[in-house]
């Protein structure tokens, strides 16, 4: 048993370093100097598309921040799921108060039944645009932006070889529930994987207009479970590359419960499994990590039960070293995002001593839930989001099977989810 403990200890520590190094490479991007903002004359004509179903806690802030963009020529197309949706009044009140001239709000009309509602809404918004728009940007309804967001997002497209540019999300929950902290730690690891796996985050993304019009992207969206997983493949097919914009780590301050997180995580993983070429990397990383850590815990318990002190020391040391490496990476990433947020004059002091105590519980719980989710998504066939149900019949074969207008009282528990 002692020999096995030594070998497993070494392997687990090596695993920790293998995860730490790419994380530090990604973190280095976050510590780059504040980007130089484009001059107005350099800004291409853009359209920002916003798909809305349900009144997200920060929807009002999202819309208001979008209307305050420091950008010379852009139009906003907001598509609300239904005229009775509670978000309609929120959006109308803000637009009436701020009285912009570049906003069009519409209700989702035809429901294709072959994709989820977000790509359905985006396709409707695109149908209202002519070919003069050089950039198509997409924003999630829970993303609160800063005034130069759009300029920073389109800046990489000055390079003719770049077809899409995006940021990513980072959670700083107002209420540090266990569910919120588990989501925080899982997402921290996910953003690193997304960067190296070329997963384009659709919550803050700008696509070259020619790619949207001339590729198969719109057809992909018509048969997609999510809009973002289709983007990178079509950009590559167009002979262009994707760019990550470190300054656009969008801070999300929503809180959630543990069950909400688990359902949300499974949807995120399912989307990757169905429609992204980088899924295999995610799967094997999860499988190997889960297997090694589970074996380590089982061996530690067995060593304690049999009073094998050397095995206890070796296995305990391996698990402690792994935890220290991963926690160190988490705090380095947190520091990088805080630096980015401070550059935008956004508050970052959300962690307290009590939060750190909960984080000690959230870290192992994240791994447990992640390990439990990976095998289950292989057999997922039905997906429910905010009262809408879909049947998954294949990677690009999605069927809407049940639709009702959003009712806040019935779907409050899913208000933090996105799909």
Q: Which pLDDT tens digit goes with each residue over 20-72?
A: 999 999 999 999 998 889 999 999 999 999 999 998 889 999 999 999 999 99
pLDDT at position 409: 58
Q: How many CB atoms lie within 10 A of CB 310?
A: 13
> What DSSP assignment string belongs to 197-243?
TT---TTEEEEEHHHHHHSSHHHHHTT-S-SHHHHHHHHHHTT-EEE
Whether the pLDDT of residue 312 is over 70: the answer is yes
Whether the pLDDT of residue 265 is over 80: the answer is yes
Task: Please give the model's pTM, rounded to 2 decimal places.
Answer: 0.91
Q: Give 282-293 pLDDT, tens digit per residue.
A: 888 888 998 999
**Which residue in the block uniquely carries the two structure tokens 């730690």?**
185
pLDDT at position 410: 57
Whether the pLDDT of residue 411 is over 60: the answer is no
Strands (E), 102-214: 103-107, 135-139, 162-171, 204-208
pLDDT at position 419: 44
What domains can be seen in the chain, in order of their start residue? Answer: 2-27+280-377 (no CATH), 37-277 (3.90.550.10)
Q: Is 217 exposed, middle or buried (0-12, 13-18, 19+ CB in 10 A)?
A: buried
Segment 235-243 mean pLDDT: 94
Q: How many CB atoms lie within 10 A of CB 282?
A: 19
Q: Work out the widest C-alpha separation in the chain, in whole angstroms.
A: 74
Q: Using CA atoms, how far apart are residues 402 and 409, in angstroms rounded to an integer? A: 18
Mean pLDDT, the chain, whole residue set: 92
Segment 245-261 mean pLDDT: 95
């Amino acid at each position: 048993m002692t020999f096995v403990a030594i070998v497993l200890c070494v392997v687990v520590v090596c695993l920790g370093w293998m995860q730490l190094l790419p994380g530090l490479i990604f973190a280095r991007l976050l510590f780059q100097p504040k980007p130089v903002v484009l001059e107005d004359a350099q800004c291409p004509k853009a359209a920002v598309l916003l798909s809305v179903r349900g009144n997200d806690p920060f929807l009002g802030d999202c819309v208001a921040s979008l209307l305050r963009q420091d950008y010379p020529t852009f139009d906003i197309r907001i598509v609300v799921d239904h005229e009775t949706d509670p978000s309609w009044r929120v959006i109308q009140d803000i637009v009436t108060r701020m009285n912009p001239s570049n906003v069009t709000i519409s209700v989702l009309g035809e429901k294709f039944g072959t994709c989820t509602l977000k790509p359905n809404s985006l396709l409707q918004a695109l149908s209202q645009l002519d070919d003069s728009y050089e950039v198509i940007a997409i924003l999630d309804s829970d993303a609160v932006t800063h005034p130069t967001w759009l300029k920073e997002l389109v800046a990489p497209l000055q390079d003719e070889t770049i077809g899409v540019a995006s940021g990513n999300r980072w959670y700083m929950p107002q209420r540090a529930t266990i569910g919120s902290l588990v989501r925080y730690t899982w997402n921290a690891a996910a953003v690193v994987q997304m960067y190296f796996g070329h997963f384009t985050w659709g919550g803050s993304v700008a696509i070259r207009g020619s790619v949207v019009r001339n590729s198969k992207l719109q057809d992909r969206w018509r048969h997609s479970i999510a809009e973002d997983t289709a983007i990178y493949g079509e950009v590559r097919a167009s002979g262009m590359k994707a760019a990550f914009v470190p300054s656009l780590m969008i801070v999300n301050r929503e809180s959630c419960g543990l069950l909400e997180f688990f359902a949300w995580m499974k949807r995120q993983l399912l989307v990757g499994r169905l429609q992204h070429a980088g899924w295999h990397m995610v799967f094997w990383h999860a499988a190997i990590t889960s297997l090694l850590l589970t074996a380590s815990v089982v061996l530690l318990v067995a060593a304690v039960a049999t009073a094998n002190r050397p095995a206890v020391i070796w296995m305990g040391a391996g698990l402690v070293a792994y935890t220290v490496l991963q926690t160190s990476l988490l705090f380095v990433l947190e520091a990088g995002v805080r630096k980015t947020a401070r550059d935008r004059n956004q508050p970052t002091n959300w962690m307290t001593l009590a939060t750190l105590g909960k984080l000690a519980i959230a870290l192992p719980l994240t791994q447990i839930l992640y390990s439990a989710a990976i095998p289950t998504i292989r057999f997922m066939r039905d997906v429910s989001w905010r009262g809408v149900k879909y049947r998954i019949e294949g990677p690009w074969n999605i069927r809407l099977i049940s639709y009702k207008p959003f009712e806040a009282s019935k779907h409050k528990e899913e208000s933090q989810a996105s799909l």
